[in-house]
Amino acid sequence: MILRRIAAILFLPMMFAFGSGVYLYLGTLKSKVVKTRADLPTVTKPRLVLPGTMFVVQDGRLFKLKDGGFSEIGGPGDWSQPTLTPDHTRLVAVLRNGYSSDLYLLDLDGHIVKRLTKNDSRIVDYNHWAFYPRVSPDGSTLYYSYDGPKHVDSAPGDDLSIWSMPLNGAQYQARRRTDPYWYTGGDVSPLPLAGTALLYVQHSIDPSTAVHSQIRLQSRTGDLIGKPLTSLADDCSQPALSPDGTQLAMICTGGKQTARLEVAPFNGTSLGPARILIEGGLYASPAWSPDGQALAYFAPSGAAGHFELWWLAVPAVVTASPSPTASPASSASEGGAASSIVVPSLPTTPVPVQVTQGVDLSATSPPAWY
Amino acid sequence: MEGRGPARRRRASRLHPVRLVVLTLFCLLLSGTAGAAAYFFPVVVAGVSQTSQTVVVPPNDSPGVKATPTPAAVPGAPFTVLLLGSDDDGKNKSPLTQSMILVRVDPAGKHVTMESIPRDLWVPLSTGGSGKIDGAYAYGGPAAAIATVERNFHVHVDEYAWVGLTGLIKLIDLLGGIDVFVTNPVLDDAYPDDINGGFLYGYKTVAVLPGAQHLDGAHALQYVRSRHNDINGDFGRSARQQEVLLAMKVKASTLNAADLPDIVSALNGKFKTSMGLDRVRSLLGVANAFDLANVKQIVLYAGLYTSYDHGAAYGGASVIIPHWSQILAVTRENFP
């Protein structure tokens, strides 16, 4: 009898422990997609050391990537789309605030230097959006997308137009630069060129009412609708001009849910034949390396689907010897990480290299890289 | 004393090592089963309360349409699901179905066809009279929605699945968000601000920027629900809903049985379906098998398939008038 009691006493905790173990074990069998949550960039180690300094965004927080490591800059808030001034001494970034967004001038540590726009209102209808800030090559003018005026005869929808204002001026000095195709969402991604010329992306519809994106060139300030540089059917957007101004990187979808990363020669007035660098994925926000020989962009990695930073050497059309200092170096010297990869210089076939792992970078905020 | 000897032997024999091992294994099996049962308990509860919902569809007098929905008899045979989505925010006692999508799944051919039904489509309702098709569910539940679709579109609906807005948000968050390529900016100055317990008829501004991006549940909902500044109105929204469904499919293809309790708790009370757990499980298998290239998407855009109208004939409402010859042709072709 005593033995049975002892056995029972021993069996009960054993059963409880085993049952709990089974419960916990089943929990470990969950698919990665359910379990995976993104890490903060600052707790990750990039696989590559990219040249220069890059600013990216995750979950409304600004991060600086320099010398193979991330550091967070700036204060709290929902920040996005940082862009550099041409002298690389300031950033302009978007701060979303519930129903509206504003542009701010920041120093390179993310401290606010000046609020550039005031788009918030206690009355919902009077709120406005400002996105895609870009500073002109001479540093004098700020270009951006803005949803004003709206719901008036001349502007019936909520759509975005391209606006410009003096970087050192005030919002009342802003002028509308483009006339959007109403109810398509409007014009985005301004890319000011030398002088007053402007590249931007217009959204419009074809006769079958399908919405397309198209890169356009506005040569003169008074032309509210620019000249198309890409076809409607190609659905190209997110233009990024190389540092020497001779190549345009862009994302094209052809109306599909997958994209192509393309590069085309640009002579200031028209695009040459585009080369497809990679295709078939969800590529976003290409940005040129400071030397103009590589691109950084965002794309998901694996089932978790978070957007990671990728690096891609751009094969030269005319064979050129790469500068030894231009290519990213192995991060082994920075910390001896086992995952470090040595990137070949200017491969003939572009091979994307994943730079980050386990983060979730904002794919609608192009990297600001210098 | 002599009588106690055999009893002691019997007791001693019960603790024989073989018996002890058997008893141990039995106890482990019992406790393991209890552990597994505890893990899957939410699934069982949901399986009882949310799946295998019985619907009695009124007889259908449309030519070529079966009287009532019946599960596909042959495993692996194509079947049609009517997906229903409602903003169950409390504005209406019986929610409308702002999203109605016919989905034909062909497991053998690994092919999926989706046809979005405009919410404002003016049709004869199975419950009597005519009205916008999104009211069928409100008037008579899933049975009325199925019957209305069957009678007007001349299709046979095998199953239905209904999801509420907050259920969709939680499900997408559980999946870790979805990846979509947003074609154009989605800006809406009159987006309903009714999810987080605020004023039911309040509104706010939303902006979803174009390009490939990762959307969490709340932003994915903004993407599929906004329609006020879309040049294609509800049709544009329908196309976006299909994009999100496909993005969810990509994520769902990585799920397994161990994820079911989390999914069930996420969808608690916000999901109903006529499908049994076995068919839900087989659908996950189908999601794994087919490629996005084998998905056909149909939106009944204004012009060819429909046209806009409004006025007293429709109770003063703005409605969408079906062009049945074109609609039935495309439906018959894709939902044989």
Residue-wise pLDDT for A109-128, tens only, equals: 999 999 999 999 988 889 99
Structure confidence at residue A67 (pLDDT) = 95
What CATH number labels B50-334?
A: 3.40.630.190
Compute CA distances A288 → A78, A351, B52, B145, whole Å: 25, 16, 54, 53
Closest CA to A92 of A198, A190, A195: A190
**CA gap B149, B58 in Å, rounded:** 12
What pLDDT was estimated at residue A330? 39
**What are phi and psi for residue A263, nearest 5 degrees?**
-130, 135
- Tokens 């659908």 found at: B283
Confidence bin at A327 (pLDDT 50/70/90): very low
- What was the pLDDT predicted at A367? 98
Distance of alpha carbon A110 from alpha carbon B256, whole angstroms: 43
pLDDT at A45 over 90: yes
Nearest to A363 among B11, B30, B211 (CB): B211
Distance from C-alpha of A238 to C-alpha of A284, rounded to nearest angstrom: 8
Q: Do B211 and A285 touch (CB under 8 A)?
A: yes
Which residues in chain A are contacts of B246 at CB distance < 8 A? 257
Fold exhibited by the domain A75-219: Methylamine Dehydrogenase; Chain H (2.130.10)
pLDDT for position A324: 39
Determine whether the interchain pair B39/A22 forms a contact, defined as Cβ–Cβ distance below 8 Å: yes
Residue range B117-124: average pLDDT? Answer: 95
Give me the pLDDT at residue B234, please. Answer: 87
Comparing CA positions, the residue from A87, A85, A37, A84 lying closest to residue A62 is: A84
CA distance A82 to A60: 11
Q: Which residue has better confidence, A201 or A195? A: A201
Q: What is the pLDDT of residue B95?
A: 87
Q: Cβ of B176 and A21 within 8 Å?
A: no
User: How many angstroms separate the CA atoms of A175 and A258, rounded?
Assistant: 35
Q: How many CB atoms are located within 10 Å of the residue A97 CB?
A: 12
Compare CB distances from B254 to A15, A33, A159 and report the shortest one's residue: A33
User: Which residue does chain A place closest to B192, by CA atoms?
Assistant: A124
Total Cβ atoms within 10 A of residue A260: 22
Element (H, E) at A78: strand A78-84
Q: Which amino acid is residue A48, in one-letter code?
A: L
**Is residue A107 over pLDDT 80?**
yes
Contact B191, B205 (CB under 8 A): yes
Averaged over A193-207, what is the pLDDT?
A: 94
Instruction: Give the per-residue pLDDT at B7.
Output: 56
The string of pLDDT tens digits covering residues B29-87 is: 888 888 888 887 777 776 666 666 666 666 665 544 444 445 445 667 889 999 999 87
* Distance separating alpha carbons of residues A269 and A218, to the nearest angstrom: 9
Which residue in B83, B98, B116 sits closest to B225, CA to CA?
Answer: B98
pLDDT at B175 over 90: no
Q: What is the mean pLDDT of residues B312-328?
A: 92
Domain locations along chain A? 41-73+229-316+355-370, 75-219
- Minimum distance, in Å, between the CA of residue B285 and any CA atom of chain A: 14
Give the pLDDT mean for A304-314.
91
Interface of A with B in 189-248 (CB under 8 A): 201, 203, 205, 208-209, 211-213, 235, 237-238
Hey, where are the domains in chain B?
Answer: 4-47, 50-334
Q: What average pLDDT does range A330-337 have in this prediction?
A: 35
Contact A30 B246 (CB under 8 A): no
Secondary structure (3-state) at A109: coil
Contact B259 A20 (CB under 8 A): no
Q: Which DSSP letter does residue B292 get?
A: G
Under 8 Å between Cβ of A353 and A48:
yes
Q: How far apart are CA B72 and CA A95, in angstroms?
A: 53
Amino acid B16 reads H
Is there a contact between A247 and A258 (Cβ–Cβ < 8 Å)?
no
- CB pair distance less than 8 Å for B184 and A363: no
Q: What is the pLDDT of residue B16?
A: 78
For the residues B138-151, what does the mean pLDDT come to?
Answer: 94
In whole numbers, what is the pLDDT of chain A averaged over residues?
88
Supply the pLDDT for residue A115. 97
Tokens 């069982």 locate to B44
* The predicted structure's pLDDT at residue A316: 79
- Beta-carbon contacts of residue B151 (< 8 Å; ≥ 6 apart): B60, B61, B62, B65, B124, B126
Give the number of other CB atoms < 10 A from CB of residue A220.
Answer: 10
Measured distance CA(A182)–CA(A129) in Å, rounded: 16
